[in-house]
Amino acid sequence: MKKYLLLIFVVLISMHGHSQDYLHISADSLGISNDAMSTAAMTVRLKKDAERYAQYAPLPRLAEMDLSFGADLDEFEKLNGYGVLYIPSLNRDNSEYPIKRVYIKQGNIITELQKIGEINVGVDDKDIMTTFGKNRIDYYYLIPYQLTQTYGELMIDWSNNRQEFVLTKFPNQNAIDYDTKAADMKNKSIDMLFLKIFLKREYNLNTN
């Protein structure tokens, strides 16, 4: 597990030949589990955000992020050099959904990230609703590790009022501690079985 917590030429990433293939995912009802950044664990963080920014309420939106990459070279190869980007988001205006796109902007080059799933999460915490609103959707994307190691901005285009919303700037503190240059990327595809295992381990998600 390599987890990092943070806040035109178009490349579409495909998991197995079809850029619009999504996984059907659901959050495990067991809630917080080990080191997994589950929806329940993220809710705890969002509540802290709501308390921290309560003095500025009501705020129009919030997007957090969590990055996970393979724990070792073998996992890196199975994921074909990709990691998973988790974006829990809150919007006061529900017309901002769905997110139009998430992308990395490097000068004039834009690399769109492929969504692999989303979960509509109910909000029942009073502090979160008061500060950010009652609309929450958590998104999961594939993200190429190498693009996180060169200069670029990770951005969101919402559906309605906000474009080019900057989540973070790369590079940051997400460098992994093994040599990716030794990776054997001959297959050029993601091991889908391992991706499902990875999503369960890192985010406590069930897939089918």
**Domain residue spans of the chain:** 2-207
- Of 94, 90, 118, the closest CA to residue 22 belongs to 118
Say which residues have a Cβ less than 8 Å from residue 55's Cβ, sequence separation at least 6: none
> Which residues are 140's β-sheet partners?
86, 117
Per-residue pLDDT of the chain (208 residues; tens, 9 = 90+): 544 444 422 222 333 333 334 444 445 443 333 456 888 989 999 999 999 999 999 999 999 999 999 999 999 999 999 999 999 999 999 999 999 999 999 999 999 999 999 999 999 999 999 999 999 999 999 999 999 999 999 999 999 888 999 999 998 878 898 999 888 877 679 999 999 999 999 999 988 7
What is the pTM for the complete model shown? Answer: 0.84
Helix, strand, or coil (residue 191):
coil
Joined together, the tokens standing for residue 131 give 């500060």
